[in-house]
């Protein structure tokens, strides 16, 4: 049993000595295996650079982060790899994408190329979602790759169901010149068309405006290509779906925490359980991971 004050903000950043855009966190430096920055808020990976030094994750320069939203709680951080839990998007009664990305997590001491962070239920989370849980996020660097693994354990005595995602914002030079391979003939829910289910006919997905799709039973790995850049392999396990999202120019202008033209600089390719909730019995464990690799 863990104390209800486990997620209180007082002193919670003591183990997070570094900052990125004024956000407290931990900078993981694994030498030839690259670097990453993980924020205390949401256990959110905000930066990943392989040995070539190129930033692979998008982070909005105008994101709110620790700024407060209208409820007085920490605003979401726009970019990196937000952890959506226990709800994906607005597919439920909770705050959009769940509460985990707005809360402070606790970190263990970095172990070389790896870092683990934890979040547990407390009185505040149970007021929103009446279930006991342990969540753990593990971040691991290897030469040319970043692996993020989310584990959820039901520590209560009743079953629950949740949806989740690693809402990965990839940084691109110009999304209009990016191509995503591996989704030909895969069925998807099109959120720009009332979530109607369609099948992608094209061998490569290209981007000229808004895209918001939940791909059902996708292949275990996709490839993102940009002109003049090494390919990025995007693999996942444990997650049932893949979400591909870009707001396009019109919706980007409506986002207060993203510069108007930054829709050109990002593409979300997310490992997710979005189309159907994940049931978890008392004492049971669920685990899912995403592996990004420079080819």
Catalytic residues: 167, 270
Instruction: For residue 17, count CB atoms less than 10 angstroms from its CB and return exposed for 0-12, middle for 13-18, buried for 19 or more.
Output: exposed
DSSP 8-state code for residue 51: T
Distance of CA 121 to the CA centre of its chain: 20
Do you find a cis peptide bond into 168, omega within 30 degrees of 0? no
10 Å CB burial of residue 32 (0-12, 13-18, 19+) is exposed
Residue 217 CB partners (closer than 8 Å, separation 6+): 186, 187, 240, 241
- 101 CB contacts (<8 Å, ≥6 apart)? 41, 42, 44, 76, 77, 82, 83, 84, 85, 167
Per DSSP, the three-state class of 93 is coil
248: left (phi over 0), alpha (psi -120 to 50) or beta: left
């Amino acid at each position: 049993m863990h104390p209800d004050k486990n997620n209180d903000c007082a002193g919670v950043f003591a183990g997070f000595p570094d900052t990125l855009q004024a956000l407290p966190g931990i900078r993981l430096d694994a030498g030839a295996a690259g670097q990453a920055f993980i924020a205390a808020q949401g256990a959110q990976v905000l930066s990943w650079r392989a040995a070539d030094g190129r930033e692979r994750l998008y982070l909005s320069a105008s994101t709110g982060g620790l700024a407060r939203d209208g409820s007085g709680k920490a605003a979401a951080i726009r970019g990196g790899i937000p952890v959506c839990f226990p709800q994906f998007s607005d597919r439920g009664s909770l705050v959009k994408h769940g509460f985990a990305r707005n809360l402070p997590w606790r970190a263990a001491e970095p172990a070389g190329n790896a870092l683990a962070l934890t979040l547990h239920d407390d009185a505040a989370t149970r007021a929103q979602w009446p279930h006991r849980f342990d969540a753990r996020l593990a971040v691991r660097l290897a030469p040319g790759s970043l692996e993020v693994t989310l584990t959820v354990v039901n520590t209560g005595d009743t079953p629950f169901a949740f949806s989740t995602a690693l809402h990965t914002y990839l940084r691109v030079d110009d999304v209009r010149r990016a191509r995503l391979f591996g989704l030909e003939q895969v069925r998807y829910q099109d959120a720009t068309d009332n979530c109607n289910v369609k099948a992608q006919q094209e061998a490569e997905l290209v981007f000229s405006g808004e895209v918001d799709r939940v791909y059902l039973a996708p292949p275990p790995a996709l490839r993102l290509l940009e002109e003049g850049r090494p390919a990025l392999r995007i693999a996942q396990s444990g997650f049932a779906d893949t979400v591909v999202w870009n707001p396009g120019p019109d919706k980007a202008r409506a986002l207060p925490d993203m510069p108007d033209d930054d829709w050109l600089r990002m593409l979300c390719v997310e490992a997710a359980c979005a189309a159907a909730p994940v049931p978890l019995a008392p004492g049971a464990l669920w685990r899912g991971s995403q592996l990004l690799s420079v080819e």
